Amino acid sequence: MVKMKALLLAGGLGTRLRPLTDNLPKPMAPVVNRPWLEHLITHLHEQGIEEFVVAARYCSDVIRAHFGDGRQFGVRIEYAVEPFPLGTAGAIKNAERWLKERFLVVNADIVHLPQLVPLLEFHRRHGGVATIVLTEVEDPSQYGAVEQDETGRILRFVEKPQPGEAPSNRINAGLYILEPEVMRYIPAQREVSIERETFPRLIREGAGVYGIVSEGYWQDMGTPTRYRQVHWDALERRFPLPIRGRQIQQGVWVGEDVEFGPGSLLVPPVVIGNRVKVGEHALIGPYAVIGDDCHIGDRAHCSRSILWDHSVVRDGSRLSNSIFGYRTVAPAGEKFTDAVISQAGEAVRA
Ligand code: GTP
């Protein structure tokens, strides 16, 4: 078991996921009907982590309202709320009083369920101040690729390398193990980026920054396309995320107290939350996630779409490739393709 505190970076604006993030921190967006941050905390807790610090700012109340002091989830949670956006390293500095021993930092919008023990063993062996967890991607050109020596020490980052110029296909996975000495390298009271400022400085000054690849599923859920993809990967079990509900047939998960009208059809893969009402001759799937307390009207269709809790798809409405936020309504007979819609009330087209 891993005994360390974990700092969860959850203070970004999530602009690329608007309007879903209009009133919601991106890490609180549900992934298969449960806030991603909850999946993450549960996963880290299963590996032994009991104490968390959430570095938040934008809509931090939403996070606090959900988790409180963490007791309900069997953990302890402190909140380091920033007075202004401090960036990824500034947020770490802002939580310094809780981080006096070796600690873990996690970008809370990265969808990844890492195995911590091998990462921590690697960190102990190299003896440097920082371990950056890496993931291997096919095309590193949208990211920063790392160059390492044979011991795993990181020599440099190449931001957005041109095709053929990347030193490797390994990129920063958004997960770090840091020694408290790192705090000395982060100036207080200003915005500081760990990727652009702190890590390059630690490398320049020879403090020992090492990288190790973490195997397994990894996805940045920061855009609607990637956010949807995370869902489809979970439904296809390429991403082994725990899914709530009973699997009544291959690829069909159904929650409690669900009512199906006559002639309604589920085409796998599909997840239906609790207390969902499905109308007559409605068609759900393939690829659909329906949140708790949703109503799907008669002859409505939902395919390749995600509905958050308490949403309504009225009779004859058709959704494809769309994301509907909490308490949204798709009016009767309307067609929505590639729509991303949030807020209460009747929906407008995205
Ligand atoms: P976009 O606005 O769509 O780029 O998203 P973002 O800024 O929320 O996310 P980005 O990928 O830039 O940030 C990576 C992680 O760091 C996310 O989990 C963010 O929540 C977090 N983060 C980014 N900036 C800050 C900050 O100033 N403070 C804190 N506490 N977290 C931050």
Q: Is the CB of 85 under 6 A from ligand 1?
A: yes
Q: Is the CB of 106 under 6 A from ligand 1?
A: no
What is the structure's pLDDT at 338?
94
* Phi, psi (degrees; rounded to nearest 5) at 244: -80, 155
For residue 222, the ligand 1 atom closest to its alpha carbon is 3
Q: Is the CB of 15 under 6 A from ligand 1?
A: yes
* Angstrom distance (rounded) from CA 251 to CA 286: 10
Taking only the tens of pLDDT, the chain with its 350 residues reads 889 999 999 998 888 899 988 889 999 999 999 999 999 999 999 999 999 999 999 988 999 999 999 999 999 999 999 999 999 999 999 999 999 999 999 999 999 999 999 999 999 999 999 999 999 998 888 888 999 999 999 999 988 888 788 889 999 999 999 999 999 999 999 999 999 999 999 999 999 999 999 999 999 999 999 999 999 999 999 999 999 999 999 999 999 999 999 999 999 999 999 999 999 999 999 999 999 999 999 999 999 999 999 999 999 999 999 999 999 999 999 999 999 998 754 444 43
**93 touches 192 (CB < 8 A):** yes
What is the structure's pLDDT at 158?
87
Angle between helices 36-46 and 60-67 (to 10 degrees): 50
Q: Is the CB of 179 under 6 A from ligand 1?
A: no
Neighbouring CB atoms inside 10 A of 177's CB total 24
Nearest CA residue ID for atom 11, ligand 1:
222
Which residue of 26, 37, 98, 192 sits with most ligand 1 atoms within 8 Å of its CB, as the best mutation to test the pocket?
26
Kindly give the distance from the C-alpha atom of residue 148 to the centroid of ligand 1, in angstroms, as a whole number.
26
What are the distances in angstroms from CA 13 to CA 23, 34, 56, 304?
10, 20, 10, 26
Nearest CA residue ID for atom 15, ligand 1:
107
Kindly give the distance from the C-alpha atom of residue 37 to the centroid of ligand 1, in angstroms, as a whole number.
14
Kindly give the distance from the C-alpha atom of residue 261 to the centroid of ligand 1, in angstroms, as a whole number.
43
* Token output for 244: 């709530």
What is the structure's pLDDT at 248?
95
* Helical residues (DSSP H) of the chain, grouped into ranges: 36-46, 60-67, 87-94, 116-126, 199-204, 224-235
Q: Is the CB of 82 under 6 A from ligand 1?
A: yes
Q: What is the Cβ-side half-sphere exposure of residue 255, based on CA atoms within 13 angstroms?
A: 22
For residue 13, the ligand 1 atom closest to its alpha carbon is 8
Question: b or e along 94-123 (b: 16 or more beta carbons within 10 Å of the residue's beta carbon)?
Answer: bbeeebeebbbbbbbbbbbbbebeebbebb
For residue 223, the ligand 1 atom closest to its alpha carbon is 3
**9 touches 89 (CB < 8 A):** no
Which residue of 20, 40, 109 sits with most ligand 1 atoms within 8 Å of its CB, as the best mutation to test the pocket?
109
Q: Is the CB of 197 under 6 A from ligand 1?
A: no
Kindly give the distance from the C-alpha atom of residue 84 to the centroid of ligand 1, in angstroms, as a whole number.
13
Q: Is the CB of 175 under 6 A from ligand 1?
A: no
Q: Is the CB of 86 under 6 A from ligand 1?
A: yes
* Token output for 13: 């604006």
Nearest CA residue ID for atom 9, ligand 1:
12
* Token output for 157: 């980052």
Q: Which residue has the tokens 């007979």?
A: 333
For residue 80, the ligand 1 atom closest to its alpha carbon is 30
Cα 250 off chain centre by: 26
* Angstrom distance (rounded) from CA 218 to CA 49: 20
* Token output for 289: 């996630």
Kindly give the distance from the C-alpha atom of residue 258 to the centroid of ligand 1, in angstroms, as a whole number.
37
* Angstrom distance (rounded) from CA 45 to CA 23: 27
Question: b or e along 195-227 (b: 16 or more beta carbons within 10 Å of the residue's beta carbon)?
Answer: bebbbbbbbeeebbbbbbbbeebbbbbbebeeb
